Amino acid sequence: MDRTFNPVFAELPETVFERMSRLARERGAINLGQGFPDGQGPDDVRAAAARALENVSNQYPPMMGLASLRAAISAHYRHHQGLELDPTSEVMVTSGATEALAGALMALLRPGDEVVLFEPMYDAYLPLVRRAGGVPRFVTLKPPHFRLDDAALAAAFSERTRVVVLNDPLNPSATVLPQEDLARLAAYCCRFDAIALCDEVWEHVVFDGHRHRPLMALPGMRERTVKIGSAGKIFSLTGWKVGFVMACEPLMRVLSRAHQFLTFTTPPNLQEAVAYGLAKDDAYFTAMRAGLARSRDRLAAGLAGLGFTVLPSAGTYFLSIDIAAWGEDDETVCLRMVREHGVAAIPISAFYQEGAVRSLVRLCFAKTDATLDAALERLARMRPA
């Protein structure tokens, strides 16, 4: 048999998250690499899923998602972000944000269309853009602020730009874009008639009084934005893979055509439970953020006490340590950390294609105090090589 396959996937390494989680399993390490919480998520949301598994149909739900979930999504975003979304024509349920991203790129891109990507970027974006026939144009965001500057946007956008992929809050930098940068990006999208594909899976996970602002709400963006969310992050249930897509009707029409041949539907009991969860009162969201902020502070203070240089984290499950002074790159430090000290982390260079930053290591703080303290105890012995 001919063993050449599509080069986009054939030449890809295994994702850094799987690689580091496997190393963690093999070494019995504490896994602060891949972003998933220690806990089980809210009991009532899991109970709603269990009840629905017993009592609700387990056959194919409607292709666009259960009506109850689409109504809940629309009500949720009206309440939390002031968006008006028609639940029947502007909301679709997907199997995780990843499916939403893949489907949107397949549906929106014509071969040769340019796609503006901000790096550091989530590792799924580039292969999906390439496989969809898009031509990437990178904008490298620099630590510690990871801001969008006008000169870089001017260099990346052109008449050939079809899509710009924005992740805000940004994984892995744990930064939230200021309104000024969103307005700058919106102006470029409007000027070049580009579609913004907004990966906002971390929208609820913001700290210290930061508020997430959807790009879709900016002037001129309503008809050119595809907004993506994920129940995995909202409810600390990353294995559920229930995502949602919001867009105006003409865009949604084509997005749904891709979705119908990717997954078509998503398990109905999980959809019911997410509909229940999205209607939870503000206290749930406030407590979720406060709990994560406490964990962030515990890990940050512990690391700082051990002499690590810790970058601020305004959102997501992550913070980074700066190892520029160590004389080693991030990959080397992560391998030493997991092999010699029993703590797995993620090298941030994995999120760069062009202007690689090799001096930052990402750690997940969405863990119990006991897990964080055990990791700190192990890291107390870690020194530059």
Please tell me whether residue 122 binds ligand PMP under the rule CB under 6 A: yes
User: Is the separation of the CB atoms in 154 and 184 below 8 Å?
Assistant: no
Q: Which of 74, 161, 167, 271 binds ligand PMP (CB under 6 A)?
A: 167
CA distance 168 to 172: 10
SS in 3 state form for the chain?
A: CCCCCCHHHHCCCCCHHHHHHHHHHHHCCEECCCCCCCCCCCHHHHHHHHHHHHHCCCCCCCCCCCHHHHHHHHHHHHHHHCCCCCCCCCEEEECHHHHHHHHHHHHHCCCCCEEEEEECCCCCHHHHHHHCCCEEEEEECCCCCCCCCHHHHHHHCCCCEEEEEEECCECCCCECCCHHHHHHHHHHHHHCCCEEEEECCCCCCECCCCCCCCHHHCCCCHHHEEEEEEHHHHCCCCCCCCEEEECCHHHHHHHHHHHHHHCCCCCHHHHHHHHHHHCCCHHHHHHHHHHHHHHHHHHHHHHHHCCCEECCCCECCEEEEECHHHCCCHHHHHHHHHHHHCEECEEHHHHCCCCCCCCEEEEECCCCHHHHHHHHHHHCCCCCC
Residue placing its CB nearer to ligand GLN in the complex, 17 or 352? 17
- Within residues 1-60, the interface with ligand GLN by CB under 6 A covers 15, 17, 34-35
Q: How far is the CB of 191 from ligand PMP (least distance, A)?
A: 26
Smallest distance from ligand PMP to CB 158, Å:
26
Residue placing its CB nearer to ligand PMP in the complex, 143 or 308? 143
For position 295 contacting ligand GLN by CB under 6 A, the verdict is no
Q: What is the smallest separation between the CB atom of 120 and ligand PMP, expressed in angstroms?
A: 10
Among 204, 241, 259, 296, binds ligand PMP (CB under 6 A): 241
As measured in angstroms, the least distance from the Cβ of 20 to ligand GLN is 9
- CB of residue 350 vs ligand PMP: minimum separation in angstroms? 13
**96: partner contacted, choices ligand PMP, ligand GLN, none (Cβ within 5-8 A by kind):** ligand PMP
Is 352 one of the binding residues for ligand GLN (CB under 6 A)? no
Closest distance between ligand GLN and the C-beta of residue 343, in Å?
A: 15
| Interstrand relation of 243-246 and 225-230 (parallel, antiparallel or unpaired) | antiparallel
How far is the C-alpha of 356 from the C-alpha of 172, rounded, in Å?
13
302 touches ligand PMP by CB under 6 A? no
Which among ligand GLN, ligand PMP, none contacts residue 232 (Cβ within 5 to 8 A by kind)?
A: ligand PMP
Pick from 243, 315, 342, 347: which binds ligand PMP (CB under 6 A)? Answer: 243
Select the binding partner of residue 34 from ligand GLN, ligand PMP, none (C-beta < 5 to 8 A, by kind): ligand GLN
From residue 244 to residue 273, the character string flagging contacts with ligand PMP as x (rule: CB under 6 A) and all else as - is ------------------------------
Q: Which does 167 bind (CB under 5 to 8 A by kind): ligand PMP, ligand GLN, none?
A: ligand PMP
**Nearer to ligand PMP among residue 74 and residue 171 (C-beta):** 171
Q: Which is nearer to ligand GLN, 171 or 271 (CB)?
A: 171
**Under the criterion CB under 6 A, does residue 171 sit at the interface with ligand GLN?**
yes
> Dihedral of CA 180/186/190/194: which sign?
positive
Q: Where do contacts with ligand PMP occur on this chain (CB under 6 A)?
A: 35, 96-98, 122, 167, 171, 199, 201, 230, 232, 238, 241, 243
Q: Where do contacts with ligand GLN occur on this chain (CB under 6 A)?
A: 15, 17, 34-35, 171
